[in-house]
């Protein structure tokens, strides 16, 4: 299994309520698990714990069979990436996009050339001219494609997709989903897809779980239907 979550719970304050409770699931290579539920049901909390943004209060997470802990370091930090709902907050508003795109090269010591970056971004529909702009000068769809390209630069094996298309128009949504499918086929990646759109989950994911009041119901597999 690529990712295994066992008995994960989270409370934000020491005596506060459990936001998510006893969550367990597993995602294999090439699989997409959808966690679907209303606003406030705890979907994003699960995604953010997996991406190493918060520690879980209880439970364990395994990546390729190895237990991982907060904060994510080394192999785990590289292998798990996240795409947020609001692409505009994923980029520093004061930096030109070229500078934001150089950050993963610096952090993960990747060989950088401007031409190499432009060639890489071609499949995401981002051109050299876009890179000279600030985040506010791009559309939501363009920024989200750039955020996906940045996450994929370091070749992760697992992506948390936290409502990546809910703020986008339908054509931008279809373009992002199309790119995600292509990448998954090429690299056998695992995805955790968080959404409140049931029809979208059914179309895109291999299995679907309903999250209600912080508890996860049994997954429903498309292949079983």
Partner 1 sequence: MLEIEEVSIHFGNNPEVVSDATFTVNGGDRLAVIGETGSGKSVLLLAVLGLLPASARITGSIQLNGRELLGCRERELNQIRGKEIAYIPQGSGNGLNPLYTVGHQLCETIQKHRHCTRKEALLQAAALLESFGLEHGESLCRSYPFQLSGGMRQRVLIAMGIAAGAELVLADEPTKGLDRRRITLVEDAFHRLGERTLLCVTHDLRFAKDISSRVIVMYASQQIECGDSRSFFEEPLHPYSRAMLAALPEHGLHATMGFAPPRRDKDARRACRVYERCPWRSERCRKAPPLLAVGERKVRCWKYAD
Q: Which residues bind partner 1 (CB under 8 A)?
A: 38-40, 125, 127, 129-130, 139-142, 145, 166-175, 177-178, 196-200, 202-204
Q: Choose between 6 and 48: whose C-beta lies nearer to partner 1.
A: 48
Residues ≥6 apart with Cβ < 8 Å to 168: 140, 141, 144, 176
Query: Minimum CB separation from partner 1 for residue 33, in Å?
Result: 17
Measuring CA to CA, which residue among 58, 59, 39 is closest to residue 213? 39
Q: Choose between 142 and 162: whose C-beta lies nearer to partner 1.
A: 142
Q: Choose between 17 and 111: whose C-beta lies nearer to partner 1.
A: 17
Q: Choose between 5 and 180: whose C-beta lies nearer to partner 1.
A: 180
Query: Minimum CB separation from partner 1 for residue 104, in Å?
Result: 22
Residues in a beta bridge with 209: 35
Reading the block at residue 78, the tokens are 């590289």
Residue 202 near residue 208 (C-beta atoms within 8 A)? yes
Q: Choose between 10 and 130: whose C-beta lies nearer to partner 1.
A: 130
> Residue holding tokens 């406030």?
40
Query: Minimum CB separation from partner 1 for residue 200, in Å?
Result: 4
Query: Minimum CB separation from partner 1 for residue 120, in Å?
Result: 15
Residue 102 near residue 112 (C-beta atoms within 8 A)? yes
Q: Hey, is 142 helix, strand or coil?
A: helix
Q: Hey, is 21 helix, strand or coil?
A: strand
Backbone angles phi, psi at 67, to 5 degrees: -65, 135
Query: Minimum CB separation from partner 1 for residue 69, in Å?
Result: 32
Q: What is the CA radius of gyration of the chain?
A: 17
Q: Choose between 78 and 86: whose C-beta lies nearer to partner 1.
A: 86
Query: Minimum CB separation from partner 1 for residue 64, in Å?
Result: 30
Largest distance between two CA atoms of the chain: 53
């Amino acid at each position: 299994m690529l990712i295994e979550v066992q008995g994960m719970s989270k409370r934000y304050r020491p005596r506060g309520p459990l936001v998510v409770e006893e969550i367990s699931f597993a995602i294999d290579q090439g699989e997409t698990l959808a966690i679907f539920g209303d606003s406030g049901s705890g979907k994003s909390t699960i995604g953010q714990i997996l991406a190493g943004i918060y520690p879980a209060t209880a439970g364990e997470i395994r990546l390729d069979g190895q237990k991982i802990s907060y904060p994510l370091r080394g192999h785990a930090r590289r292998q798990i990436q996240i795409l947020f709902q609001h692409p505009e907050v994923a980029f520093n508003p004061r930096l030109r996009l070229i500078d934001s795109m150089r950050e993963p090269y610096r952090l993960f010591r990747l060989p950088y050339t401007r031409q190499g970056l432009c060639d890489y971004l071609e499949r995401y529909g981002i051109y050299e001219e876009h890179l000279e702009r600030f985040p506010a000068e791009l559309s939501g769809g363009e920024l989200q494609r750039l955020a996906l390209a940045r996450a994929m630069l370091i070749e992760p094996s697992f992506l948390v997709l936290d409502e990546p298309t809910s703020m986008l128009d339908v054509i931008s949504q279809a373009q992002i989903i199309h790119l995600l499918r292509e990448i998954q086929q090429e690299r056998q990646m695992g995805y955790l897809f968080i959404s409140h759109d049931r029809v979208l989950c059914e179309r895109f994911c291999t299995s679907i779980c309903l999250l209600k009041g912080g508890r996860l119901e049994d997954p429903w597999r498309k292949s079983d239907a």
